Amino acid sequence: MADHTHPSRSSGETAARIRHLLETEGDAVHTQASISNAGRVQAYDETDDLEALRTEARAIKEDAIDRLPELLGTVRDAVEDNGGTVYLADDAADANAYVADVVRDAAGDDPTVVKSKSMTTEEIDLNEALERDGVSVYETDLGEWVLQVADDTPSHIVGPAMHLDRAEIAELFNERFDPDEPFETAEELTRFARGHLGEYIREADVGITGANFVVAETGTIALVTNEGNARKCAVTPETHVAVAGIEKLIPSVRDLEPFVELIAKSATGQPISQYVTMLTPPTDSPTIDFDRPDEPITTDGAADREFHLVLLDNGRTDLRDDDRLRETLYCIRCGACSNSCANFQSVGGHAFGGETYSGGIATGWETGVHGRESAAEFNDLCTGCTRCVDACPVKIDIPWINTVVRDRLNRSGDPDAYDFLVDGLSPDAEEGGLDLGKRFFGNVGTIAKLGSATAPVSNWLAETTPVRALLERTLGIDRRRDLPTFSRERLVDWFERRGGADASRRRARRASSRSGGADAGPDREAVLYPDVYTNYVDPDRGKAAVRTLEALGVPVRVPDLPESGRAPLSQGMVATADRRASRLFAGLAEDLDAGRDVVVVEPSDLAAFHREYERLLPTRSFERLRDNSYEICEYAYGLLENGADPSVLATAGGDGHADDGTPIAFHSHCQQRTLGLEAPTTALLERCGYAPRTSSVECCGMAGSFGYKRAYYELSVDVGDRLAREFEGAQLVAASGTSCHDQLESLLGRPVEHPIEVVAPDAGR
């Protein structure tokens, strides 16, 4: 892809590039990507055995990649037994040279080639290589052909022309082909394309396809498409070349079943694709004589057809040997990660993409086949929200792949670099190429601690024009973004000042007595994790959590605990996050041993406990923390479901009455949603007499540090505006995450509360 964000560009240049794409391609990309994503959600919801299918598909891919050398031998034997040829290409140049030789041998002078859609041939720039060799190459996929006519590049791995709307395509075709009557409708454009491309297919010397899957035991090629062009390219010319990455191999025909079931659902929300073609070439399908179309079709001469399967390595073996990036090879190229990503929906693959691949999974592919520098162009556009993990049909942990690559880019200044000094802003001797902005955001806990200790002076100083200019110039913090206001009193200090754990125990006991002894269970206690934002910026939501738990009969501890490591993890500082995770677990070990529940206000920290810590802690430690940690609203609702008295909470009707049905607009943090915790929060609000209206926009656009960065400020606001428009006119607005709260307050210009603040008993109780 051409002209992407590049690591050598300044934040201002990157911002200008994104602004241009927002203005020129954003609307078209958002329309198409969001429609596909909504279709996927519906299709997934209607699939009873979805999780079993996803689990089975992943297991097949894991097995296939494990057995890849064996499967390469198996498929070679199968194809050769059928009369075809297998060529294993080391890299792009090797593959292109082989295909060019096949074309020359098949066609001689002035050869013509027709191609169906193939990201693998995009990866190796096959068209350009053949054209340099004097071959006329015609794309037959409608989207790819539009781009060929426009001399443009794909913006999506499934919908390559997603960034162009119908009017733009009509204008392009009218200018290029000068029809008697100007094209206007989609039907007119499609009819013309079908006839025009049909001529190329009939006359072509060689047909080139990709392959969605290659069955090793039989040599079968599976093509999953919504147009009939792929099978025409495969069976009409007398020579068929299929180009596929070695990762496309699966062991048996039986293994195709879950993928055929999942791929269309994941890509476009269809129950199944229009065409699922399985060929075991050289195919017995007849070669049609278009000069005598009325004559009976026979298979005479079909056995003379040539088939070449070109299996491409091009860095895939190295990916297979890389424990942290190996998952990339499980990808089935459905594009669900792109469609589910709020940032991609705004700018498309011309920003969120590298030389070939786009979307969340592109970081792994670009690193593997083109190098880390290509991945660096767009890696920071992944905010780690994890929505793509739930969208992926083979459960690839795409945010982790992006984090790993970010970590390696940070170290790129020194191959022996470690990461970053744990508790400070000064680099140690083993730092890598970590820039000052990432260093700052990765150590935001240190900044917050300092800001709180010096408040209110720190808050005043941070808003002065010279300081904002300095922050923008040195750290890339956009001066248009509102900065957090630090609290002078930390949550942990407030908790100790009011009597600490002993006083909390007394309050919880009194609350249980007032409610007639009803409680959530025997001897239940909680430790509230004081995340950076709750502890230093917004203690009020932490205070509300404490009061709620005590009112429901659960005594609370709020110890002064280390940071979770979420901040450095978001900047790709994996080693720093690893050390902080270990420190935090050590700080919680005594509470876990005592059987206390860990309750978390900030969803991103809970997501770290439940997901990323699996990669950072010993298995037993991770499982103990995961199994005993809860989001605050989930926990409070669970207490009510287990017998706690709801009348002690602040209800919409007041005076314990919960039948008012007061409307409230509620936005659930991305990671609260991906953990499946939006529903308990809305249920809690409903139990307290509210009628929550949840947002259909899945992301606020802020995404932690992302929305502060000058390079991405306008993208952040573009995503956030869609959410703000939904909530215009709402009298009450609540949001469960730090980022969501700050973004909505900025865009709506009025207060936004955490749901626990909405239902918490007032401070006097």
Edge-first strand order for the sheet with 206-209 is 85-89, 306-312, 239-245, 206-209, 112-115, 136-139
Provide φ and ψ at 667, rounded to 5°.
-110, 125
| Residue from 243, 244, 240 nearest 205 by CA | 240
Confidence tier at 180 by pLDDT (50, 70, 90): confident
Q: Which CATH architecture has domain 53-286+301-314?
A: 3-Layer(aba) Sandwich (3.40)
Residues in the chain: 765
Alpha carbon distance 655, 142 (integer Å)? 64
Q: Which helix (H) or strand (E) holds 320?
A: helix 316-320
Residue 407's Cβ-side half-sphere holds a number of Cα atoms within 13 Å equal to 21
pLDDT for residue 3: 38
In sequence order, what are the beta bridge partners of 309?
A: 86, 242
Edge-first strand order for the sheet with 597-600 is 556-557, 526-529, 597-600, 629-631
Q: Is 76 helix (H, G, I), strand (E, B) or coil?
A: helix
558, 542 Cβ separation under 8 angstroms: yes
pLDDT for residue 704: 92
**For residue 34, how many other CB atoms are within 10 A of its CB?**
18
Work out the percent of the chain whose per-residue pLDDT is above 70. 91
127-139 confidence digits (pLDDT tens):
999 999 999 999 9
pLDDT for residue 428: 38
Alpha carbon distance 337, 267 (integer Å)? 9
Please, which residues have CB within 8 angstroms of residue 227's CB and are 6 or more apart in sequence? Answer: 140, 141, 142, 274, 275
677, 634 Cβ separation under 8 angstroms: yes
pLDDT for residue 521: 44
Work out the percent of the chain whose per-residue pLDDT is above 90. 83
**What does pLDDT average to over the chain?**
91
439-471 confidence digits (pLDDT tens):
999 999 999 999 999 999 999 999 999 999 999
Q: Which residue has the tokens 């690193």?
A: 367
DSSP string, 366-385: HHHHT-HHHHHTTGGG----
pLDDT above 70: residue 477: yes
pLDDT above 50: residue 419: no
Alpha carbon distance 233, 224 (integer Å)? 14
Strands 220-225 and 213-215: antiparallel
Higher pLDDT, 502 or 512: 502
Structural tokens at position 731: 């009298």
Rounded to an integer, the average pLDDT of 597-625 is 97
pLDDT for residue 420: 36
Alpha carbon distance 712, 701 (integer Å)? 10
pLDDT for residue 228: 85
Higher pLDDT, 717 or 425: 717
Q: Which residue has the tokens 């990432």?
A: 438
This prediction has a pTM of 0.91
pLDDT for residue 435: 85
Provide φ and ψ at 3, rounded to 5°.
55, 60
Structural tokens at position 528: 């509230």
Q: Which helix (H) or strand (E) holds 71?
A: helix 68-82
Q: Which residue has the tokens 């390595």?
A: 313
Q: Which helix (H) or strand (E) holds 387?
A: helix 387-391
pLDDT for residue 520: 43
pLDDT for residue 272: 87
Alpha carbon distance 299, 654 (integer Å)? 82
Amino acid at 531: D
Confidence tier at 517 by pLDDT (50, 70, 90): low
Which of the residue ranges 105-109, 171-175, 208-212 would you say has the lowest mean pLDDT? 105-109
pLDDT above 60: residue 197: yes
pLDDT for residue 289: 53
Which of the residue ranges 232-241, 377-386, 647-656, 697-706 would you say has the lowest mean pLDDT? 647-656
pLDDT for residue 605: 97
pLDDT for residue 440: 95
Show me where the domains of the chain are located.
53-286+301-314, 491-759
Structural tokens at position 38: 């909504």
| Residue from 241, 235, 238 nearest 205 by CA | 238
Alpha carbon distance 558, 536 (integer Å)? 14
| Residue from 209, 216, 245, 307 nearest 95 by CA | 245
pLDDT above 50: residue 599: yes
157, 358 Cβ separation under 8 angstroms: yes
Confidence tier at 710 by pLDDT (50, 70, 90): very high
Rounded to an integer, the average pLDDT of 667-689 is 95
pLDDT for residue 325: 97
Alpha carbon distance 275, 423 (integer Å)? 56
218, 280 Cβ separation under 8 angstroms: yes
280-291 confidence digits (pLDDT tens):
988 765 544 545
pLDDT for residue 438: 93
| Residue from 111, 194, 212 nearest 145 by CA | 194
Which of the residue ranges 258-262, 272-276, 459-463, 698-702 would you say has the lowest mean pLDDT? 272-276
pLDDT above 90: residue 240: yes
Say if residue 451 is exposed, middle or buried (CB neighbours under 10 Å; 0-12, 13-18, 19+): buried
pLDDT for residue 660: 67
- For the packed helices 26-45 and 256-268, what is the interaxial angle rounded to 10 degrees? 130
DSSP string, 445-478: HHHHHHHHHTTTHHHHHHTSHHHHHHHHHHH-B-
Confidence tier at 404 by pLDDT (50, 70, 90): very high
372, 408 Cβ separation under 8 angstroms: yes
Rounded to an integer, the average pLDDT of 518-531 is 76
